[in-house]
Amino acid sequence: MNSYRIAVVGATGLVGRTMLNVLEERRFPVSRIIPVATERSAGTTVPFAGEELPVVAIGEDVFDGIDIALFSAGGSTAKTWAPVAVKHGAVVIDNSSAFRMQEDVPLIVPEVNAAHLPDAAPRIIANPNCSTIQMVVALAPLQRRYGIRRIVVSTYQSVSGAGKKGLDQLEMELEGRNSPVRAFPHPIAGNALPHIAAFEDDGCTTEERKMIDETRKILDDATIGVSPTCVRIPVPFCHSEALHVELRAPFAIDDVRSALEELPGVILIDDPESTAYPLATIATGRDEVFIGRLRRDPSVENGLIMWVVSDNLRKGAATNAVQIAELWRLLREGA
C-alpha cells in the first residue's frame, strides 16, 4: 500500500483538528503529517496518532514533497497558497469557497458526483459548503430517479459553523456572561438568527447563494430552482434542514425510502409514531447523513418533504475532504 505525505493547513482550527482525527480514524495511509497554521500558532502542537505534532508556519517550503494538502484556513489563505501547493506537485482539497464555482475546479461530494474528478493530476479540488453537502447527499438518488424541478430549503445551522468563536459565544451566553468576541450580530442563546454571512443586494445571504450555485454544479443541472433560507440556532454541532422538493416525475414514498436506504453514508430514521427522526444529538460525531420525516407535500404536484441532519464539522467539512482524498488515492493507484 502506498503512503502519502499530507499537509493540513489550518490545523489548529475546529475543522483542521477534525481533519486530523478523521485521517486517523479512517486509517488513511500517511507517511508524514505536517500541521500548518499562521505564524501566531507556530510552535504549538496538535494531536495525531498518539503523538503531539508541532505546528509550522505557512510558507512555500511547507509544500516541498507534499502529496495532499488539506486546506481549512479561509478563502484568502487558499487563494494565496493553494496554487503554490499545486505548483509543488500536490493535490489541494480546499474547504473554503474560494474556488468552488471556478469552471475548471471539481466540486466533489464522493457519494454524489465522484465522476466529476477525472484523474489524479495535481490540481485544486473544492469541498462544498457544509449545508450543501448534506442536502445533495439526500437529493442525489431522487435526481437520478425522478429529476428535480425545485428545492425549497430552510436550514437550522449550529454555532460551530462559525468556528470556535461561535461555540464560545453560545457557551458564555448560556452561562449569563457577555462574550468579548462575538461571532454573531445578536445574542444566539434563545434566538434563531435568519442571517448567516453577508447580505447581497437582492436580500439573499452569501450562505444562501452558495447553496443555490453549488447544488446546481454538483447535481449538474443549472435548471434546478433552489430557494434557501439559512438560519443560525443555539445548537453546538450539526446542521438540520427542512427540504421541500418538487420532483419532475411521480413517485411512491416507499420507492423514495428504498432509494435513500441504498445510498452509502445515509441513515434513515423515519418512524413518527415512535417519535423517531433525526436529531443533532444523534448525528454529532458521526459521518453519516440522517434523513427522516418523509412525506408528500400536498401543496405541489410530485412534492416531497424530508428532514436532514448531519455533523457540519465532519461530513459537512473534514470527513468529506478526507473522502475526496480517498477518491483521489483510488484514481492515483488505479484501484
Strands (E), the chain: 4-9, 30-37, 45-48, 51-54, 56-57, 68-71, 91-94, 124-126, 148-157, 225-232, 239-247, 266-268, 289-296, 303-310
> What is the SS3 assignment for 332?
helix
Rg (CA), the chain: 20
Of 88, 204, 238, 239, the catalytic one is 239
How far is CA 256 from its chain centroid? 24
Of 116, 130, 230, 238, the catalytic one is 130
195's grid cell? 442571517
Separation of alpha carbons 29 and 43, rounded Å: 25
Q: What is the DSSP string of 306-326?
A: EEEEE-TTIIIIIHHHHHHHH
Is 186 labeled as catalytic in the residue annotation? Answer: no
Instruction: Indicate which residues carry an active-site annotation.
Output: 130, 239
